[in-house]
Amino acid sequence: MFEILEQAWAFNLDRETVFGLVEQSFVFVVGMTAILASLGVILCASPIYSALYLIGNMCCLALLFLFYNAEFLAVVQVVVYAGAVMILFLFIIALLGAKKEERDFSFEKLMGMGFVALLFCELLMALRVGFTRPIEGQATEDAIAIVGSAKAIGIELFSHHLIPFELASFLLLVAAVGIISLAKFSYRPIRKRTRV
């Protein structure tokens, strides 16, 4: 990420560098916004605000998807995830009540945060590893741009990854049946006769 900065610092300012710089800074800003939004998710007292922050996070991620040439996925993220799933979340929050949660700072929370900090450090160790195999894929930026992102994904999905696709649809069916049986109201019979 910092090579562009180095290049810019060397005042090697040509068109490519400037575009690269702007793009890099934009990505950086969106990424930081995503992180801040996620912080907001966990730190808000009211669940409604947490949900809204989550929607913001998802939109930031969609923007990032666009930067990574995954246009189809970006649209799917906004439409399905931020659109349908989060709306469902908001409905449930509205149904169950959105009381504000009081803060307390217990030892458990400290321990949890400590563990997660360790986790973060360990995950960053992956930075030292780098790529484990050479780049040999065919789906470069230009190749996708010829067919268009959605079509490229479609060709890949329905040919090489057909079975996961079918299984995912099956999973959705099972989930639908499951929630109907879980959350339905029990059927009460209507009184046949009224009391005299």
Partner 1 sequence: MFAYSWLILLLPMAGFIGLSWWGNRLPRSGVGLVGCGSIGGAFLVTLVVLADMLLLSPDQRVGNVVTLYPWIASPHFQLDLAVLIDPLSVFMLLVVTGVGFLIHVYSIGYMRDDPEYSRFFAYMNLFIFSMSLLVMAADFFFLIVGWALVGLASYLLIGFWTEKTSAVLAARKAFVMNVIGDVGMVIAAFVVFQYFGTLNYVDVFAKASTTFSPNDDGALLITLLLLVGAFAKSAQVPLHTWLPDAMEGPTPVSALIHAATMVTAGVYLVARCNSLFMLAPYTMYLVAGVGVFTAIFAGSMALVQFDIKRVIAFSTMSQIGYMFLAVGVGVFSAGLFHLMTHAFFKALLFLGAGSVIHALGGEQDIRKMGGLRHAMPITFWTFLVAALALSGFPLTAGFFSKELIIMESYHAELGNFLFWGMAVLGAGLTGFYTFRLFFYVFMGSSRSPGAHPHESPMVMTGPLLILGSLSLLGGVLGPWTHEFLSPVFSGVIPLHHEDALLESITVGVALGGIATAVALFMTGKDRLDFAKQMLAPVYDVLFHKYYVDEIYDFFIVKPVKAVGAFMEERAEKDGIDFVVDQVGAQVREVSRGISIWQSGSVRLYAMNMVAGLVTILLFVIFL
Partner 2 sequence: MDTNFVLFVSAAIFCIGAVGFLIRKNPLVMFMSVELMLNSVNLLLVGYSKALASLDGQIFALIIMTVAAAEVVVGLAIILTIFRTRHDLNVDHINVLKG
CB 77 within 8 A of CB 55: no
Instruction: Based on the shown chain and the rule CB under 8 A, indicate whether residue 45 belongs to the binding site for partner 1.
Output: no
Q: What's the closest the beta carbon of residue 189 comes to partner 2, in angstroms?
A: 22
99 binds partner 2 (CB under 8 A): yes
DSSP string, the chain: -HHHHHHHHTT---HHHHHHHHHHHHHHHHHHHHHHHHHHHHH-SSHHHHHHHHHHHHHHHHHHHHHTT-HHHHHHIIIIIIIIIHHHHHHHHHHH--PPPPP---HHHHHHHHHHHHHHHHHHTHHHH--SS----S--HHHHHHH-HHHHHHHHHHHTSHHHHHHHHHHHHHHHHHHHHHHPPPPPPPPSS---
Q: Which of residues 59-98 bind partner 2 (CB under 8 A)?
A: 61, 64-65, 67-70, 72-73, 76-77, 80-81, 84-85, 88-89, 92-93, 95-97
183 binds, among partner 1, partner 2, none (CB under 5 to 8 A by kind): partner 2
Interface characters, 122-151, with partner 2 (x: CB under 8 A) = -xx-xx---x---xxxxxxx--x-------
Nearest-approach distance from CB 71 to partner 2, in angstroms: 10
According to CB under 8 A, which one of 8, 21, 41, 75 is a site residue for partner 2?
41
What part of residues 98-127 is at the interface with partner 1 (CB under 8 A)?
108, 111-112, 115-116, 118-119, 122-123, 125
Among 10-18, 170-178, 186-194, the segment contacting partner 2 (CB under 8 A): 170-178
Helix axes 47-67, 86-96, angle to 10 degrees: 180
**How many positions of this chain bind partner 2 (CB under 8 A)?**
80
Rounded CA-CA distance 55/193 in Å is 51
10 contact choice in partner 1, partner 2, none (CB below 5 to 8 Å, kind-dependent): none
Binding residues (CB under 8 A) for partner 1: these are 108, 111-112, 115-116, 118-119, 122-123, 125
